[in-house]
Each structure stands twice: as structure tokens, then as C-alpha cells.
Structure 1
Amino acid sequence: MRYFKMLLPVSLCLFLLTCKYSQGNDKVIEKESISSPNIVLFMIDDMGWQDTSVPFWKEKTTFNNLYQTPNMERLASEGMKFTQAYATAVCSPTRVSLMSGMNAARHRVTNWTLKRGISEVRPPKGLSMPEWNLNGIQPTDSIERSTHITALPQVLKDNGYLTIHAGKAHFGAADTPGEDPINFGFDINIAGHAAGAPGSYYGIQNFKKDINKNSIWDVPGLEKYSGKDVFLTEALTQEAISAMDKAIDKKEPFYLYMAHYAVHTPIQGDPRFEQKYIDQGLHPTEAKYASMVEGMDKSLGDIMDYLDKKGVSDNTIILFMSDNGGLSAVARGGKVHTHNKPLSSGKGSAHEGGIREPMIVKWPGITKKNTSTDDFVIIEDFFPTIIELAGISNYKTVQQVDGKSFSSILKGEKQNNNNRALFWHYPNNWGPSGPGIGATSTIRKGDWKLIYYHMDSHFELFNITNDIGETSNLASKEIIKLKALAQELGDYLRSVNAQMPTNTNTNQIVPWPDNQDVLNNYNN
């Protein structure tokens, strides 16, 4: 027998219950539990650090005054803001890290996935991409070019949770088991499949790219809304609420992964909110975008209102996060690479605009209300944290977990984790060009951030604390710091057997960042 010691509850209505459940084929495990908390992870797609009326910087900005997100403000007033929370620069790597607890350098799903065996993005001239795991994560080790994992929802399900997926999945390629969230331990899947964007946000278009044709981008499972004047964000919210009803009726704790397709392209205006932004004189595309942001915020408010109505708010933890930085290089109105200011660049970039995210956590009765932290958090940290919040202390995974729990931060315990090194690895091509966009490896430690560009083995070095906009490259001035970070970055990449691209001009694999020939270019 193995016993699972649960965390203290967040509800005042505590009671001890003992239940038995099976794990694996023949093991019966006895579990002593106190009313486990419900957990809602509210994941937004392509939402930038500035796409909110909640300031995550030392001051409010023009963007904070533009966007209207009263429910994010409400959540922040009831919980803790994380001002230095990070994901990866594009979507699938982030979602895989969330599901597995692995850093992208280790899991090798380093770009976005879609079709089995096919990379959707061509390599740039001068580089050949490594054989990254373009088929995503899988619940089995039988799929080529993929990563076999024990998924977060599977761990929760094995420990008594009803697990709900609503919205975007995008962590396994089409025609593989990984395209279906059910195969990762979700009891309910609402509209999740291989694609990372909807064909349309409009029910009147059946959420299809072309109402007269089938496409891999068409959102599945929402046929009841076909032909109706309903926005996708609203439909997903109503379906998620219905699914939570099932768990509450059964008196089971639930995990809701509310993974909105918004605010990913296609940028289509939410009719409930678009006109007021047009009346304010916004660029037509930006008015549509702002309306999508507000529609997402309404969803958050609807779910919080539902939890209040059902009397379970005090026993429900809510985590809010985005999967990468806000889109800015293409498809937006106005000047490119400026939509996340003061941060540089946006989605697809190793600069802060591509990886720094709006993050809020409400843990009732534990996390002090209306607080903020600048402690570092990265997306793989959600895996061990959510499991710990659920009170699960004895579990096994087939993968090695890189993430570190941030539950102690939520408890208000003094941290010194900003000396911890964070790592990003993107040996791929996103497509557009711009600051920080390209095949890169990156380390953030303390005030400093070093970016290594694979194409020509050059560096950018920034003091993020003093230069949040990454305007001053100190690589040629701070040689000692550069070499120390390059060494640590190289050591880490080798330790996880990270893949590097090949330079097609020399037919040689791109050298590690701490390669002596590379560093010799930066000698005093």
C-alpha cells in the first residue's frame, strides 16, 4: 500500500474521507484525503504581457489603459500577480512543457505541430533544422519523432479528479494518439484537436475556415452551435460550465483546463465588444483584437461567477497564464514589433515580448490577496505545482520533470529563486523576421539574459532589470558575464542532450554557445 498525504484544504468545510482506486493494471491504492481543491487553469493563446488593464510592470502603460479586462483585475485583487512569468516563444512547446513538466530542450517538441511527419515551417537559408519531435507528445512510446509522457491530467485523474479539457489542445499531431486530449487523461474533451487555431470564431460559420469545405483548422465537437450567432470564446465557456456541473453533482474535485483559442489569429471581432473600440478610433484590426481580449476576460468572469454561485469558490484554485508573447510581427494593425511595449518584439522571439506572460494565481485562504511577486516562474513549473496543489505527493512519470513547484511563493514564503537559471531552446524557424526571432538558445539568470543565435553564432546580452526593452546589447562590453552565462547555457544544453541545427554552408552542426572559437570573437 502507498498512502498519499494531501495538502490542507482551502475550504473551511473539511472532512476526512477514505477511498480506494486502482492504478495500473492490478495495484489497488488506498488514499486518505481531505476535500481536494478544484483547480482551474485559464490558458490564453498569444496573449501579450500588455494585453490587459492589469499592469504587470512598475507602472501602467498606454496598453493597460486601452484594454478592458475587469475580471483579470478582479482575479488579481483576490490573488497574486507574477511579474516575471515565462513561457516559450511559440505555442506547442509551451503546451508540451505544461503537460509534461519538461523544458523544451529536453522534450524536443521545439516548434508548433500539426500533421504527422510534416514540419509546417521551412528552415531559413543557411540552417537545416534537427529532427525535432514534430509529432508532439504521446501517451505511448510507439510513435516516431515524439515524446512519450505521463501527462498532468492523467496524474490528476488517477488521484480522483474529474478532468476537463476545453478549447485548444495542439500538443500532438493529427493522426496520432496525441491529437486527442482524452488519451492524456482528460475525462471530457471540448473542442480540442491537433490544430492550434480555429477555422473561424463565428458560430454562423460553424467555426470552419470555409463553411462549404472541411479543413484541419475547423473546430470539432461544437455542432450544437452551428449556424448560431455565438462567438467561439462564449461557446467554450458555456460548455466548460456544463462540464463543471457534472463534477459538482458527483461531488468530485475537478481540474478544468480552460484553454481558449483566443486571441490567436484569425483576428475576428467579437460582436459583443468590437464597436466601442471602433468608436474610440482604433485601427480596425486592433479594435477586433481588443474585442477578443475583452471576450476572453468575460469568460474568466463567467467562470468565477459560476464558482461563486455554486458555493465552491473558496475551494477552487485559479491559475491564469498565456502560452507565449503577444503577436506583433504579422497580422496586427500599426507598426510591427511594438504591440508589447515596453517589451521588445513579440510571439516567436527570444526577446521579452515573445516569452514574458501575464500570470495570476488565486489560492483561497493561502495566497494573500492583491499581492505581487517578481520571482521567476517558467511554464514547466506548472506541472509539479498543480500536482502539489492537488495534494498529490507520491506519483511517477515516465519523463524526467524539470519544473520547480512555486507553491511556496503562493504561500508567501520568502524566496531567492531569481538566482535560478531559466532556459529556452528553439533550434527551429518560426517564419517572420524581427528582433530576437530565429533559431536561438537563451538563459536568464538574475538581472542578466544571454541569447545565442544559431545562424551566425553571435550573442545578445541584456541587463533586463535595467533595460526591460532590451535596447542595449552589452555582449561586447560585459565579456566576463557573457562567458559565464554561455558556459552555463552550454552545460545545460548538453545535460539534456539538446538538438542543434546544422549550418548548411559548412555542413557542420552549430557549435555550443560556450565553444571556444565562438567565445574568441568576444575576447577583450
Structure 2
Amino acid sequence: MTCSLKLCRILFFLSFCLLFPFCVTDHLQAEERPNIIYVMADDMGYGDLGCYGQKIIKTPNIDQLAKQGMRFTNHYAGHTVCRPSRLVLLSGQHSGHTPISQNEQYYFPEGTTTVTTLLKQQGYATGGVGKWALGIPESTGVPSKQGFDFWFGYLDQGNAHNFYPEYLWSNEQEVSLPGNKVGPHKRVSISRETYSHDLLTREAFNFIRTHANQPFFLQAHYTIPHANNEGGRATGDGMEVPEYGEYADREWPQPEKGFAAMVTRLDRDLGRMVQLLKELKLERKTIIFFTSDNGPHQEGMHQVEFFNSNGPLKGYKRDLYEGGIRVPLIVKWPGKIKPDRTTDHISAFWDFLPTACELAGVEPPNNIDGISYLPTLLGQPQQKHDTMFWKYRGKVALRAGKWKAVQTGPNKPLELYNLETDIGEAHDLAAEHPELVARMKRQIAASQSND
């Protein structure tokens, strides 16, 4: 080969890399493929963590995760309520392309491709604890038929609103909790002995210990700090927790003591999980994601404003304003993610599937909306979304760069916000930018494949 031909090939390669920087992210070697732990709180707000501005509730262990890893400031849940948000996370498709876009009943069909089935095919041991919501017993949607080697927790999401249930599920085996008894409405606890969150944590830790010598994926979809709505109306306390701990003597309403204690209990168990990984010498081999399934709730007699749970954001659970869908995301991977980093990369739940696939060295499906944010985690050039979309009943929202369009009902006008200068969505600029509004209306229509 002549020197000139060699030079031409080198120049071509360099040009290719410059034109397509996103295809040159270093693929991890097989021995570098990490264990993946995805921890998700239930109804925790953008402002409920110290590292996101919380001043009262104590979250030292989660704050330490952020200190040792990367904190995302522009991360979005898959939805503004529970079931469709989980569906988006597992499928890699946003709610314009998923079969449901509200909390209606839905079971995964047999043979569904999810992040879990893809990781299982790649040789990962797959386990989960917490709230499932995508298949009741004897349906095709149960976790054991959707790629999970092991599952422990709730299957029907309605039962997950009680933290002292009479039973939980280990795969498809009902596990009785005889010390707990609920009333006729199935959500009001009459006797309380076993707190479900503590069992979920125990089983999560057991899964880690059992699979310490092989790659594993653990989905820990905890149910706190969700409210027990029925229990709250019946007993005056919709935030069930065994003790209020350091908040017991605060002169607060009872539900607020419970809410704070739930968040701090979850924080405690994240600290215990990290310590377990250290003991098993798995800390540097494991990437931990921590997030919430949607914005903060105002249920069970808890008030969003009491702890400023949505931080600087407008709205909360069931809204498509930022407070309903923008959530914390913290990712820690010692030795790979540089510590104490913050990113404003705009990402969402549907990006987790391709991110996990890239971590595991498996090709993601073509029919997804997600883009891997592993390049951001590793400090490499990152491909960005042109638009991001959500819908809930008659509401829709679309983000395109700094711009956010929100329609609060089918006959409502489209509102327009500049999130760079107005994170609280206080100033509707639609009248000032009619051409942008028209374009975003077209993008909203194009984002809904079945409408």
C-alpha cells in the first residue's frame, strides 16, 4: 500500500469520526460490562433530595451517590403516573407509541421485548423487587414471563398502596404475611407487623449476594413515598411507616412526618446497598441508577408545598408541567463516571433501554424512541433528542431543546415556555411565537402513532 493511499484512508477515517461522533463511543469489553442496579422511588419529587435543593428531609446517602457520580438536571420520567411510566422505562418507547398512556389496566403480551429480556439474553441474571403493575397472576404479563429470573413484591399496583399487605409475590408464588391484616377495602391496615419496604430491601440484597459472581440486573422499584390513600382517609395518616425517627418530635402534621420518614428510610437503604456492594467487592463493577417514577404526589394528606417537593418546578403528579414529569436521576459507577459531575443533558426513561444495552454490549431494537446516554456518563460526545413527548388523557406536552409546549386539555390552547429562562413555566410565550407554536403542534401530531 502506498503512503498516499494510507494517508487517504487515515484522513477518511478521521473525517468519518468528525461527521459521526456518536458512533465512536468506546464499546465496553466483555469483562468491563457492569452489574446494573436501577432504583426507582414512587412519587418522589424533583425537590425531595438534598442534592436537588431539599433543606429539611435528610438524604445523606443519596446525596453521596451524587457526590460520587453524576447528577442529571434535565431528566424526565416516562409519564406523570405509575403504570405507563414503568411501561415506557421497560419498552424504550415514549407514551405516544406505547399501548396505554394512563393508569388503565395493561398486561405485557407474551414475547414482549423489554430491557430485561434483552439483558437476560446477554447472560445477565435478572431480578426485581417492588411494584410491577404490568401483569397480574396467571397473566402473560407477570415478571417471570417477561425476562425476570426472580421477582419479589407486588404484582397488581392497587395492592401496592398498602405498606402492610397480607401477602406479596415471589415470582408466581403467593407469600403470606400473617402479622398483617387489612380491612374490607384491602387498603386499610388493621394490624401491622411486617413493613413491605423492608422485605423488598431484604430480597434485593439477597439477590445481589446470590449473583455476586456473575453479571446481574436488579430492578428495585420501591413503593415509598407513595401514599396509602384509603388508609389516610380512614386513619388520618396516609403515609405509612413503622416509625417517624428523627422527625417524631417535629411540630408537623402526621402525614408530613410520615412522608419525611419514608424518604429517609429509602435513603438509609440506599446506603446499606452501597455498603453491601463494597463488602462483596462489587462497587467498581456495578453501575447504580437512582430516580423516581413521576413527580411528587399530593395524596394521603401530604401537601407538595410542605417540603417544596417539586422544587422550582410547576405542578406535580398527574400534570404535564415540569413538576409532574421532571425527576431526579443520579448515576454512580466508580472508575468510569467522574465524581461530583452535573449534566444538563435532556434525557428520559425511554433512554434507559438503549443505555443498558450499550452497557451490556447488546444491540437495542429498532422500534424504540430512546437514545443511550452512556456517552454523557463517560464524558463523550452525546447525541440529542430533537423532541420529547408525553400524553396523559387529554393532555399533551412536547419539549424541543429549550422550548416546552403544554396543552392541558383537548380544547385548551397550546402553552409555550422557554425552560432556559423560565423553569417554573410562569410565562406563556405562545402569543409571541406563532410559527414555533404551529411547528410544535405538527411535532405533537407526529409523535402519536395511533392518533
Query: What range describes the TM-score normalised by the shorter chain of this pair?
Result: 0.7 to 0.9
* Alignment partner, residue 76 of structure 1: 66
Distance 1:475 1:336 in 2: 32
* Alignment partner, residue 55 of structure 2: 65
* Counterpart secondary structure, 2:154: coil
User: 1:331 offset after TM fit, Å?
Assistant: 3.4
The answer to whether the aligner puts 1:475 opposite 2:436 as a matched pair is: no
The aligned amino acid for 2:204 is: A
Q: 1:328 to 1:467 in 2, by over 3 A?
A: farther
* Aligned ranges 1:487-498 → 2 under 5 Å: 487-493=442-448, 497-498=449-450
Aligned length in residues: 408
- Is 1:89–1:325's contact at 8 Å kept on the other side of the alignment? yes
Identify which of 420, 428, 432 aligns with 2:386: 420
User: 1:199 offset after TM fit, Å?
Assistant: 4.9
Deviations 1:28-65 (A, max 9, x none): xxxxx42531110011111110111112xxxx3xxx11
Identify which of 102, 106, 114 aligns with 1:135: 106
Identify which of 361, 370, 376 aligns with 1:409: 376
Deviations 1:293-344 (A, max 9, x none): 0111111111111000101101001011111001036732476996413211
* Alignment partner, residue 123 of structure 1: none
* Alignment partner, residue 166 of structure 1: 129
The aligned amino acid for 1:319 is: F
- Is 1:461–1:474's contact at 8 Å kept on the other side of the alignment? yes
Distance 1:183 1:334 in 2: 37
Distance 1:338 1:328 in 2: 11
* Alignment partner, residue 414 of structure 2: 459
Distance 1:152 1:80 in 2: 22
Deviations 1:440-472 (A, max 9, x none): 121111211111244314111111121111112
Q: 1:71 to 1:338 in 2, by over 3 A?
A: closer
The aligned amino acid for 1:421 is: T
Identify which of 253, 258, 265 aligns with 2:227: 265
* Alignment partner, residue 450 of structure 1: 405
The answer to whether the aligner puts 1:38 opposite 2:35 as a matched pair is: yes
Q: 1:344 to 1:160 in 2, by over 3 A?
A: same
The aligned amino acid for 1:194 is: D
The aligned amino acid for 2:74 is: Q
Q: 1:338 to 1:482 in 2, by over 3 A?
A: farther
The aligned amino acid for 1:93 is: P
Distance 2:371 2:304 in 1: 39
User: 1:490 offset after TM fit, Å?
Assistant: 2.0
User: 1:139 offset after TM fit, Å?
Assistant: 2.5
User: 1:377 offset after TM fit, Å?
Assistant: 0.6
- Is 1:328–1:337's contact at 8 Å kept on the other side of the alignment? no
Q: Structure 1 length normalisation: TM-score?
A: 0.72
User: 1:110 offset after TM fit, Å?
Assistant: 0.8
- Is 1:90–1:112's contact at 8 Å kept on the other side of the alignment? yes
- Is 2:166–2:181's contact at 8 Å kept on the other side of the alignment? no
The aligned amino acid for 1:424 is: W
* Alignment partner, residue 367 of structure 2: 400
Deviations 1:84-118 (A, max 9, x none): 100111111111111111111111221114xxxxx
Q: 1:339 to 1:422 in 2, by over 3 A?
A: same
User: 1:268 offset after TM fit, Å?
Assistant: 2.7
The answer to whether the aligner puts 1:351 opposite 2:306 as a matched pair is: no
* Alignment partner, residue 16 of structure 2: none
The answer to whether the aligner puts 1:245 opposite 2:212 as a matched pair is: no
Q: 1:172 to 1:291 in 2, by over 3 A?
A: same
User: 1:172 offset after TM fit, Å?
Assistant: 2.9
* Alignment partner, residue 83 of structure 2: 92
Distance 1:359 1:208 in 2: 37
User: 1:474 offset after TM fit, Å?
Assistant: 1.7
User: 1:477 offset after TM fit, Å?
Assistant: 2.5
User: 1:288 offset after TM fit, Å?
Assistant: 0.6
* Alignment partner, residue 304 of structure 1: 274
- Is 1:100–1:380's contact at 8 Å kept on the other side of the alignment? yes
* Counterpart secondary structure, 1:112: coil
The aligned amino acid for 2:35 is: N
- Is 1:47–1:325's contact at 8 Å kept on the other side of the alignment? yes
Q: 1:215 to 1:310 in 2, by over 3 A?
A: farther
Identify which of 226, 236, 240 aligns with 2:200: 236
User: 1:165 offset after TM fit, Å?
Assistant: 0.8
The answer to whether the aligner puts 1:102 opposite 2:72 as a matched pair is: no
* Alignment partner, residue 30 of structure 1: none
* Counterpart secondary structure, 2:450: coil
Which sections of structure 1, spanning at least 5 residues, go unmatched?
1-5, 10-32, 114-133, 141-148, 220-226, 429-438, 500-524
User: 1:210 offset after TM fit, Å?
Assistant: 7.8
The answer to whether the aligner puts 1:485 opposite 2:440 as a matched pair is: yes
Q: 1:111 to 1:218 in 2, by over 3 A?
A: farther
The answer to whether the aligner puts 1:378 opposite 2:348 as a matched pair is: yes
The aligned amino acid for 2:109 is: Q
User: 1:211 offset after TM fit, Å?
Assistant: 1.4
Distance 2:185 2:178 in 1: 7
The answer to whether the aligner puts 1:326 opposite 2:290 as a matched pair is: no
- Is 2:56–2:307's contact at 8 Å kept on the other side of the alignment? no
User: 1:275 offset after TM fit, Å?
Assistant: 4.3
Deviations 1:179-209 (A, max 9, x none): x211111001111312255253247997799
- Is 1:204–1:228's contact at 8 Å kept on the other side of the alignment? no
- Is 2:107–2:140's contact at 8 Å kept on the other side of the alignment? no
* Aligned ranges 1:177-196 → 2 under 5 Å: 177-178=140-141, 180-196=142-158
Distance 1:406 1:443 in 2: 20
The aligned amino acid for 1:181 is: P
